[in-house]
Amino acid sequence: MSPSDLPASSASSPSSGRAARSLVVLLLAAGVAHFARPRTFDAIVPRSLPGTPRAWTYASGVAELALGAAVAAPRTRRIGALATAGFFVAVLPANVKMAVDWRNHPAPYRAAAWARVPLQLPLVCWALRAGRRG
């Protein structure tokens, strides 16, 4: 019996496998970036959150590394991908803060900052696709 003979619910589709692999790369790279360049991320932490921006920067970096590991492992991929979708929704306020804070930057920077806001929707869809089976 070949994988193509299995019911759709028993095997991951090639599309979801590619989505998962590329999502893992994104999450791990972003997680590492939070530790390599924390000041960049500190600046977009909403002031309304308790604690220091650096603590949130490191916590989100750890979360991205953990999510990347969860999506990478087939046994935890589905729950990891669902958690990743939730994470992408949770960081939306940071992207909005960045866009607002950059209102006095040159136009290309403002445009890039605002482009990050609606980008969260395709990221959520990407995570959901990565966690799909069959």
Q: Could you read off the pLDDT of 64-121 as tens digits, one per residue?
A: 999 999 999 999 999 999 999 999 999 999 999 999 999 999 999 999 999 999 999 9
Nearest to 128 by CA among 10, 14, 23, 8: 23
Residue 1 lies in a domain: no
Residue 99 lies in a domain: yes
Domain span including residue 124? 12-129
Q: Is the per-residue pLDDT at 6 higher than 70?
A: no
Q: Which two tokens stand for residue 2?
A: 């070949």
pTM confidence score? 0.83
Residue 7 lies in a domain: no
Residue 3 lies in a domain: no
Residue 4 lies in a domain: no
User: For residues 99 and 62, what is the distance between their CA atoms, to the nearest angstrom?
Assistant: 24
- Number of domains, the chain: 1
Burial of 82 (0-12, 13-18, 19+ CB in 10 A): middle
Q: Is the per-residue pLDDT at 1 higher than 80?
A: no
